[in-house]
Structure 1
Amino acid sequence: MDASHSRSRVRRLLLPLTAGVCAIALVGGCSDADSTSRSAGESSPSGTVQGSASRVTNDLQDDYEAVIKDVLPSVVQIDASNSLGSGIVYDDKGHIVTNAHVVGSEKTFKVSVATGEKVFSASLVSSYPEQDLAVIKLDKVPDGLKAAKFGDSTKVEVGQIVMAMGSPLGLSSSVTQGIVSGLGRTVSEGRTGGGTGATIADMVQTSAAINPGNSGGALVNLNSEVIGIPTLAATDPQMGGSAAPGIGFAIPVSMVKTVADQIIKSGKVTDSGRAALNITGRTVVDSSYQPAGVALVSVTKGGAAEKAGLRAGDIITKVGGSAVTTITSLSEVLAGDKPGQKVTVTYTRSDAEKTAEVTLGEI
């Protein structure tokens, strides 16, 4: 797989309610020891440059403040009984889009606006763990409910300034800023701690600080458009699994709209657009106890794998030109493909290596 499909270690951005009160360390500002104040009558030879820089800074600050004022009222906090997360008002009918791992197995929720002044009840419409997305609906739509404006994934570019909005560590109405650091990332989340185990393609990588509680919130550009939903943060295994600063991932807005629109219209996802072999499998290891492939436990009758001649007991080692060593790596390879696409699957059967051309099915 190429660099854009890096197999990042990630953690979900969900905040357990048992976290209690958050302790925050405040760091005082620093001054430059060489800096001296000028008297009121002293002029600067670089005054024009400084004035231009000041105007640019003021313009950018004005942009930040305008976006926050515009978008933050559409970002809510979701209390899912045992955890806290965030959500985005999707339309004026009370639909809210969030992460599937935020709602978990719950059916009812308490939703508060970004400032935390009002609390509303909401019910689950449907959850789609395969893409870690879900839609809930307010039981009663309050006056003045404001839907967010959703952007265009094709216009998102590396280097764009973005802000992450949500309730990190239970601190509602929080905003951080950064840039789009990368596009087209494929990452997987674990199943422990309520995770969905989803492998998600085309994610937006950002340097904006995102923390537990940001899950389901908004990643926003300076046009006040939502371009993604913060979902995962990278962890550094060399630091004991601690968060890797400045590396977070958001589900792209194109996928958010695709899933949310189907759930709102049909009550479920009817066309996932996600490729599948239509199998269940498990990771196998070699004589050195290293992951060595995916053994097929079962194949769906009439599914993609069965039609291509694969059967239970076969061990998949490669799809196309990408090696397959684990269930996760198989999911990551397939995340970049589309239903109906033809791929060459390399597998072993009775210690003999074989290949099969498979027309991919759909999740």
Structure 2
Amino acid sequence: MSLFDDDFYSSKVSRKTLREHLGNRKRGGRWLGRLRNQKSVQLVVLSSVTTVLVIAVLYGLLFGFSPSSRHGSSMDFSARAVEASDHIRPAVVSIINEQKFSLELGGGPLEQDAEQSGVYREIGVGSGVIVQKDEQYAYIVTNYHVVASAHRVKAVLTTGEQREAEVVGLDQITDLAVLKVDAAGIGQVAEIGDSSKLRAAEFVMAMGNPLGMGEAITFGVVSVIRETVPVSLAQNGVLDWEQEVIRVDAAINQGNSGGPLVDLNGRVVGINSMKISNFGVESIGYAIPINNVMPIVSELIDSGYVSRAYLGVMMLDLQQYWSRQELEAEIEGESTLNLPQEVYEGIIVLEALGPAKEAGLEFNDVIVKLDDTKIRNTRELRRYLYNQKQIGDSIVVHYYRGKELLTATVTLGENKPE
């Protein structure tokens, strides 16, 4: 007898065994088929769910999912922009700059303190945003250059109502101004954000009154979080100060100045200030970071001006003088400096006032150093004075009087407005 069961291993299989074997295969095949079908369905479902989740996450990352969003969850990008706009819009105002003109034929603008009869005419428009309110007044932030030359200022609310605005304080250095209007009926005050938390490529909106056309919103991204650009305080083409700004590609047109730069949570992160408008340049605008704005606003509301160290010199860049000398062989009323040949950068004292006069500085002295810091132009003098010195500090001024290098110790005063 074989060690194996012939009915199982032999090539000769009985019909009964064959029927039983085939029956078991059919039942097993149906079971395996059902199992394979179930696994296929599960795989399809799992793949679909995974795809949906991946798309949702990517959509959220690209279009506004943020733990700090107003509702703490992802929202439709367009809906977030609309909500942010609705949140801030009632606090945005238009600013009208008016000057008084003579009634005489061909009469020009009157002086600021003129008492003569005349008529007010609109000479410029800008924007502003309400950042503070008490029982009596609502306080509006705008740009210095929007209202600096105004004889009268009006604020236009989003309802279309015009209100007389009073200038609380101006600061040319930061290009900021604060106005106040009657608070009656004003319920919305802008929510202030944190400009230090801005990120490159973050979406922002510039709001205001471009070209006097009324309320408008432009959209873009933050290009550079922090940038320093040279500016002309007198707007005469002479670059005599440096402004710290946020660069954006949202359109900032004439009239947008002073309006808010807003994030997608409806919070003010900057004050629109200027743009580059050279031929071939597209969408390069600048806003003053709100973290720089609010301390100035508080000081303007409290004091009407920003207190800074005061040297007391009317000045001209030495390089400007050389340029002028090249254009004109002799300038009437302007004496020759007679400086050493190697001195070609510095600050010419046109008039010494207050602290500088008391220390002995005179007309045509040329300042070349403050303490141990070389001074080549007005920008560098202001930067050192405003960033490194306080009222009451002493400063050593190194200057040339003709070919002689002298020093004077100046006790800095305060730049109180006249």
Instruction: Give the TM-score taking structure 2 as reference length.
Output: 0.61
Deviations, residues 26-68 of structure 1 (Å, cap 9, x unaligned): xxxxxxxxxxxxxxxxx9x966544433344263614333321
Q: How many residues align?
A: 305
Q: Which of 1 and 2 has greater Rg? A: 2
Which one-letter code corresponds to 2:400 in the other structure?
A: T
Which one-letter code corresponds to 2:147 in the other structure?
A: V
| Matching of residue 337 in structure 1 with residue 337 in structure 2 | no
Hey, what's the Cα distance between the residues in 2 that align with 1:322 and 1:66? Answer: 51
Deviations, residues 164-216 of structure 1 (Å, cap 9, x unaligned): 211223341323231161326253235348x9998354333333331211111
1:122 to 141, 164, 169: 164
Which one-letter code corresponds to 1:295 in the other structure?
A: I
| Matching of residue 279 in structure 1 with residue 321 in structure 2 | no
Deviations, residues 213-262 of structure 1 (Å, cap 9, x unaligned): 111101223443323211122354xx4xx7x4343332333443333333
What is residue 58 of structure 2 aligned with on the other side? 53
2:390 counterpart SS class: coil
Deviations, residues 274-310 of structure 1 (Å, cap 9, x unaligned): 3442211223333874973321122223x2x346553
What is residue 5 of structure 1 aligned with on the other side? none
Which one-letter code corresponds to 2:289 in the other structure?
A: P
Which one-letter code corresponds to 1:84 in the other structure?
A: V
What is the RMSD of the two structures over their aligned residues, measured on CA atoms? 3.6
1:185 counterpart SS class: strand
1:141 Cα deviation from its structure 2 partner: 3.4
Within 5 Å, give how 1:175-194 maps onto structure 2: 175-179=218-222, 181-183=224-226, 185=228, 187-192=230-235
Contact 1:200 1:335 in 2 (8 A): no
1:70 to 67, 87, 93: 87
2:268 to 203, 222, 226: 226
1:134 Cα deviation from its structure 2 partner: 1.9
1:146 Cα deviation from its structure 2 partner: 0.8
What is residue 296 of structure 1 aligned with on the other side? 349
| Matching of residue 168 in structure 1 with residue 210 in structure 2 | yes
What is residue 79 of structure 1 aligned with on the other side? 96
2:346 counterpart SS class: strand
Which one-letter code corresponds to 1:53 in the other structure?
A: L
1:144 Cα deviation from its structure 2 partner: 4.4
1:286 counterpart SS class: helix
1:53 counterpart SS class: helix
What is residue 191 of structure 2 aligned with on the other side? 149
Hey, what's the Cα distance between the residues in 2 that align with 1:323 and 1:162? Answer: 38
What is residue 101 of structure 1 aligned with on the other side? 145
Hey, what's the Cα distance between the residues in 2 that align with 1:275 and 1:204? Answer: 26
Hey, what's the Cα distance between the residues in 1 that align with 2:128 and 2:293? Answer: 12
- Identity, in percent, stands at 28
Hey, what's the Cα distance between the residues in 2 that align with 1:281 and 1:213? Answer: 32
Hey, what's the Cα distance between the residues in 2 that align with 1:112 and 1:219? Answer: 19
1:137 to 169, 175, 180: 180
Which one-letter code corresponds to 1:95 in the other structure?
A: Y
Shift in alpha-carbon separation, 1:283–1:261, aligned structure 2, 3 A: same
Shift in alpha-carbon separation, 1:252–1:346, aligned structure 2, 3 A: farther
Shift in alpha-carbon separation, 1:329–1:103, aligned structure 2, 3 A: same
What is residue 362 of structure 2 aligned with on the other side? 311
Which shifted more, 55-64 or 100-109? 55-64
Shift in alpha-carbon separation, 1:94–1:186, aligned structure 2, 3 A: same
Higher strand share: 1
Which one-letter code corresponds to 1:104 in the other structure?
A: A
What is residue 253 of structure 1 aligned with on the other side? 290
Shift in alpha-carbon separation, 1:157–1:358, aligned structure 2, 3 A: farther
Contact 1:163 1:221 in 2 (8 A): yes
Shift in alpha-carbon separation, 1:281–1:198, aligned structure 2, 3 A: closer
Shift in alpha-carbon separation, 1:275–1:99, aligned structure 2, 3 A: same
Shift in alpha-carbon separation, 1:63–1:342, aligned structure 2, 3 A: farther
Shift in alpha-carbon separation, 1:337–1:133, aligned structure 2, 3 A: same
1:273 Cα deviation from its structure 2 partner: 4.4
Contact 2:138 2:186 in 1 (8 A): no
Contact 1:86 1:217 in 2 (8 A): yes
What runs of 5+ residues in structure 2 fail to find an aligned partner? 1-47, 65-74, 98-121, 328-343
What runs of 5+ residues in structure 1 fail to find an aligned partner? 1-42
Hey, what's the Cα distance between the residues in 2 that align with 1:207 and 1:342? Answer: 43
1:128 Cα deviation from its structure 2 partner: 1.3
What is residue 132 of structure 2 aligned with on the other side? 91
1:89 Cα deviation from its structure 2 partner: 1.0
Higher helix share: 2
Shift in alpha-carbon separation, 1:317–1:182, aligned structure 2, 3 A: farther
Which one-letter code corresponds to 2:160 in the other structure?
A: K
Hey, what's the Cα distance between the residues in 2 that align with 1:329 and 1:88? Answer: 32
Hey, what's the Cα distance between the residues in 2 that align with 1:127 and 1:331? Answer: 21
Which one-letter code corresponds to 1:88 in the other structure?
A: V
1:54 counterpart SS class: helix
Shift in alpha-carbon separation, 1:223–1:310, aligned structure 2, 3 A: farther
What is residue 25 of structure 1 aligned with on the other side? none
